[in-house]
Chain A
Amino acid sequence: MANDGGRKQFWKRSGTKVPGSIQHVYGAQHPPFDPLLHGTLIKPGSKPPTTPVKLKKVSTFQEFESNTSDAWDPGDDDDELLAIAAENLNTEVVMETAHKVIQNHSKLQEQHKFLEEHLQEEKQVESAELTSVACGDNRLVKSVSEGHTSSSSGNASENSSMQRSQSLPQTSTPPLVSGMADFNTSVTPALTEREASRLDKFKQLLAGPNTDLEELRKLSWSGIPKRVRPIAWKLLSVLLRKHCVFLARIFLVSVFSAMKLVMGYLPANVDRRESTLQRKRKEYFAFVEQYYDSRNDESHQDTYRQIHIDIPRMSPEVLRLQPKVTEIFERILFIWAIRHPASGYVQGINDLVTPFFVVFVCEYIEEEEVENFDVSSLPEEVLQNIEADSYWCMSKLLDGIQDNYTFAQPGIQKKVKMLEELVSRIDEQVHRHLDQHEVKYLQFAFRWMNNLLMREVPLRCTIRLWDTYQSEPEGFSHFHLYVCAAFLVRWRKEILEEKDFQELLIFLQNLPTAHWGNEEVSVLLAEAYRLKFAFADAPNHYKK
């Protein structure tokens, strides 16, 4: 496992700094800027540039990324490289794909035109507001770029730091630990304008022939507008893969095993995107053809039966009772389970398909709420694409956390222990309170890890959460831990009021998050980021 290195140094990454550390540089500007934290913990310039660089050739990830922009794009793993080689020989396929690319391209451009027209008015209204925001936040912009000096990113233009500053007010609510009742009071109209300007930024970024993935990730950290989310999610996976290749080079481990771990899905180059999608979709349906008939075989029928009975009882409940959806989910899950015998199908994995599926379905929904949308009204071809894309994206996500689902679930056990240790340092009172009442972390946090908090927050929040997880290196496997810690401490007041084992557990398993939206998730993420920043590199921070 290529991220073994990362895992081992869970608390003490600082010991062996990766050249051009990707860990703390880019995100610093996204969560609320905390002068205290930055003042004491980051000394500008003391970060990666001054640490001895093992391999001078690749000093920053940005450099690395630009050098290798296409080297690894076509292949995700050995199998795939072979598949590509085979496919290249087939001229018919090539022609067909090329034709589709052109078609899609012109379609996309039409869409862009439409969007631009649509947004003109909104932009006009917003521009006045925009300048005022930028001026009002001068201090922030400045300090952000100071805090950011450690990043040798050459493309952080004036413009982009301004853009970032606009996402700040949204998240710069007081940290959760102190009073937490007052972040619900956002003004809705301002939010829509900000959303529009964010959408504009995403559109600009995605319009070019080569998407600047680093920039996309920076933007995505604070949430992705609904309209561009499908493409952004597919793209973000690439970035993760590149990080992995980058790390692999540094640690001189097998590039292929590293890539398998965090497999990307879409190349950054727009011309290649469609063909990659087509190829992946074909590959998925080849799996379906190859394996799906075996679902009633003796060796696989248990798996299939389990999936079959679980789909109607999934959480979140969106769409789950539509026969078409059931059919698609059964195929996705069965194929995944068959191809991953080490874990097989484990309850909870079914939940993880939903966000991808819903996001990709939303690409085809104009105004309607997805809850009321009849999926079977989509053309068969579209549905097939959604199915294949969901499969690959889920598959990629699971590759990073597969030890959560193998025998005895060591990944979860380890993370729950880490959570306990972390909480004992960040909020001793809560930790002691739980301990006094004999509440074990495994009793409530097991589900947090197994279902990535999907059972604890509404689906819209999960989707927002995943925007960030996908723009954070090891978001699902590592950053999630800090989100869980922030999530637990978020309820400290209620926890400390409960004086009974059972009431505590019933509370912790039914947290009142039904009303949660982007605002709450942003605050949670900001706090998680702060925790990661303050504690990940400081194993003894607040330790007794």
Chain B
Amino acid sequence: MSQAAMSETYDFLFKFLVIGNAGTGKSCLLHQFIEKKFKDDSNHTIGVEFGSKIINVGGKYVKLQIWDTAGQERFRSVTRSYYRGAAGALLVYDITSRETYNALTNWLTDARMLASQNIVIILCGNKKDLDADREVTFLEASRFAQENGKRIRSRKNGLRYSVWRCCLETAEITTKSTSTKCSGMWVLKKQNTTSNIFTLDTEAVRANGV
């Protein structure tokens, strides 16, 4: 009961996607964000998994409803059906895999087409701890973000703080805009039509399996 009461105490609810190729560390980022700790034995996601967190942004409580999607191509037709009504998306690639970076354009197109043109995207280069194997430079990713969005911010601080901060940022930006009711839940939509992409280097995933 108390849990139910707790979950009622928020001002805004927004739907947040985590997307990107398989094995880029999406679930680890989600776990990191919700539990504030690393999880090094995460299973690969099948379909979609859910997370939830209430954060305080400028005195308002925002409930993030996080949809952590499966990255494998074969699941795409199913995961696409989960995009509708999303206010923001964490778009994740693996800095040690150019392939995951090259796929970003497709992910971005999908997100804008299926969720909203105004969806707030946070571009996230994951696995900074494997910097020695880096295949994609931060500069490159920044340029990508610049070309595909209007404003760029970079956050290179400690991981936990960064993830937290960038979600906060999304929340902040999103809460400033007007809200519209959509598919039975409150989602927030940006007022201006430009979409922002933030870039971020994270190190959520320690090398698995060794």
Q: Give the shortest distance, in Å, between B10 (CB) and chain A (any CB).
A: 11
Bound Cα distance from A397 to B82, whole angstroms: 30
| Among A150-158, A363-371, A498-506, the stretch in contact with B | A498-506
Bound Cα distance from A315 to B50, whole angstroms: 18
Q: Give the shortest distance, in Å, between B197 (CB) and chain A (any CB).
A: 26
The reply to whether B72 and A347 contact each other, CB–CB distance below 8 Å, is yes
Q: Which residues of B contact A443 (CB under 8 A)?
A: 47-48, 82
The reply to whether B52 and A502 contact each other, CB–CB distance below 8 Å, is yes
Bound Cα distance from A442 to B75, whole angstroms: 12
Tell me the chain B residues, 58-95 only, with Cβ under 8 Å from chain A: 65, 70, 72, 74-75, 77-78, 81-82
Bound Cα distance from A501 to B47, whole angstroms: 17
B184: Cβ under 8 A from any A Cβ: yes
Q: Give the shortest distance, in Å, between A450 (CB) and chain B (any CB).
A: 5
Query: Who on chain B is nearest to A310 by CB?
Result: B44
B208: Cβ under 8 A from any A Cβ: yes
The reply to whether B44 and A506 contact each other, CB–CB distance below 8 Å, is no
Given contacts A317-B41, A447-B47, contact A309 B78 (CB under 8 A): no
Residue A313 contacts which of B43, B65, B82 (CB distance < 8 angstroms)? B43
Given contacts A326-B209, A442-B81, contact A509 B50 (CB under 8 A): yes
The reply to whether A505 and B50 contact each other, CB–CB distance below 8 Å, is yes
Q: Which residues of B contact A347 (CB under 8 A)?
A: 22, 44, 46, 70, 72, 74-75
Q: Give the shortest distance, in Å, between B156 (CB) and chain A (any CB).
A: 26
Number of interface residues, chain A, beta carbon within 8 A = 38
B185: Cβ under 8 A from any A Cβ: yes
Query: Who on chain A is nearest to B63 by CB?
Result: A502
Residue B41 contacts which of A306, A313, A326, A409 (CB distance < 8 angstroms)? A313
Query: Who on chain B is nearest to A406 by CB?
Result: B74
A538: Cβ under 8 A from any B Cβ: no
Bound Cα distance from A500 to B103, whole angstroms: 35
Q: Which of A347, A505, A506 has the most CB of B within 10 A?
A: A347
A270: Cβ under 8 A from any B Cβ: no
Q: Which residues of B contact A312 (CB under 8 A)?
A: 208-209
The reply to whether B52 and A314 contact each other, CB–CB distance below 8 Å, is no
Bound Cα distance from A313 to B74, whole angstroms: 18
Q: Which residues of B contact A310 (CB under 8 A)?
A: 22-23, 44
The reply to whether B7 and A500 contact each other, CB–CB distance below 8 Å, is yes
Bound Cα distance from A283 to B77, whole angstroms: 36
Q: Give the shortest distance, in Å, between B48 (CB) and chain A (any CB).
A: 6
A408: Cβ under 8 A from any B Cβ: yes
Q: Which residues of A contact B209 (CB under 8 A)?
A: 311-313, 321, 326
Bound Cα distance from A446 to B82, whole angstroms: 13
A205: Cβ under 8 A from any B Cβ: no
Q: Which of A343, A413, A450 has the most CB of B within 10 A?
A: A450
The reply to whether B47 and A408 contact each other, CB–CB distance below 8 Å, is no
The reply to whether B22 and A306 contact each other, CB–CB distance below 8 Å, is yes
Query: Who on chain B is nearest to A501 by CB?
Result: B185
Residue A409 contacts which of B49, B77, B208 (CB distance < 8 angstroms)? B77
B4: Cβ under 8 A from any A Cβ: yes
A438: Cβ under 8 A from any B Cβ: yes
The reply to whether A455 and B184 contact each other, CB–CB distance below 8 Å, is no
Bound Cα distance from A117 to B84, whole angstroms: 65
Residue B46 contacts which of A317, A321, A450 (CB distance < 8 angstroms)? A450
A405: Cβ under 8 A from any B Cβ: yes
Q: A402-423 CB contact bits vs B (8 Å, 1 = yes)?
A: 0001011100110000000000
Q: Give the shortest distance, in Å, between B122 (CB) and chain A (any CB).
A: 21
Bound Cα distance from A509 to B41, whole angstroms: 17
Q: Which residues of B contact A407 (CB under 8 A)?
A: 74, 77
Residue A314 contacts which of B22, B43, B81, B183 (CB distance < 8 angstroms)? B43
Q: Which of A317, A326, A503 has the most CB of B within 10 A?
A: A503
Q: Which residues of B contact A174 (CB under 8 A)?
A: none
Bound Cα distance from A450 to B45, whole angstroms: 11
The reply to whether A455 and B65 contact each other, CB–CB distance below 8 Å, is no
B42: Cβ under 8 A from any A Cβ: yes
Bound Cα distance from A312 to B47, whole angstroms: 19
The reply to whether A309 and B65 contact each other, CB–CB distance below 8 Å, is no
Q: B4-39 CB contact bits vs A (8 Å, 1 = yes)?
A: 100100000000000000110000000000000000
Bound Cα distance from A310 to B42, whole angstroms: 10
Bound Cα distance from A502 to B3, whole angstroms: 12
The reply to whether A313 and B42 contact each other, CB–CB distance below 8 Å, is yes
Given contacts A438-B183, A509-B50, contact A503 B208 (CB under 8 A): no
Q: Which residues of B contact A326 (CB under 8 A)?
A: 209
Q: Give the shortest distance, in Å, between B81 (CB) and chain A (any CB).
A: 7
Query: Who on chain A is nearest to B4 by CB?
Result: A499
Q: Give the shortest distance, in Å, between A41 (CB) and chain B (any CB).
A: 36
Bound Cα distance from A300 to B205, whole angstroms: 26
Q: Which residues of B contact A509 (CB under 8 A)?
A: 49-50
Q: Give the shortest distance, in Å, between B161 (CB) and chain A (any CB).
A: 25
Q: B194-210 CB contact bits vs A (8 Å, 1 = yes)?
A: 00000000000000110
Q: Which residues of B contact A447 (CB under 8 A)?
A: 46-47
Bound Cα distance from A442 to B7, whole angstroms: 24
Given contacts A312-B209, A500-B4, contact A506 B81 (CB under 8 A): no
Bound Cα distance from A89 to B184, whole angstroms: 71
Bound Cα distance from A309 to B74, whole angstroms: 16
Bound Cα distance from A499 to B183, whole angstroms: 17
A84: Cβ under 8 A from any B Cβ: no
A539: Cβ under 8 A from any B Cβ: no
Query: Who on chain B is nearest to A446 by CB?
Result: B47
Bound Cα distance from A326 to B49, whole angstroms: 26
A97: Cβ under 8 A from any B Cβ: no
The reply to whether A309 and B23 contact each other, CB–CB distance below 8 Å, is yes
Q: Give the shortest distance, in Å, between A25 (CB) and chain B (any CB).
A: 36
The reply to whether A346 and B208 contact each other, CB–CB distance below 8 Å, is no
The reply to whether B7 and A309 contact each other, CB–CB distance below 8 Å, is no
The reply to whether A306 and B72 contact each other, CB–CB distance below 8 Å, is yes
The reply to whether A442 and B47 contact each other, CB–CB distance below 8 Å, is yes
A9: Cβ under 8 A from any B Cβ: no
The reply to whether B78 and A442 contact each other, CB–CB distance below 8 Å, is yes
The 5 A-B residue pairs with the shortest CB-CB distance in the complex, in nearest-first order: A312-B209, A446-B47, A447-B46, A408-B77, A309-B23
Residues of A within 8 A of B (CB): 306, 309-315, 317, 321, 326, 343-344, 346-348, 405, 407-409, 412-413, 438, 442-443, 446-447, 450-451, 455, 499-503, 505-506, 509
Residues of B within 8 A of A (CB): 3-4, 7, 22-23, 41-44, 46-52, 65, 70, 72, 74-75, 77-78, 81-82, 183-185, 208-209
Sample (5) of A-B pairs whose CB atoms are under 8 Å apart: A306-B22, A346-B75, A443-B48, A443-B82, A447-B47
Known: A409-B75, A506-B52. 6 other contacts (CB 8 A): A412-B78, A443-B48, A446-B48, A447-B47, A502-B65, A505-B50
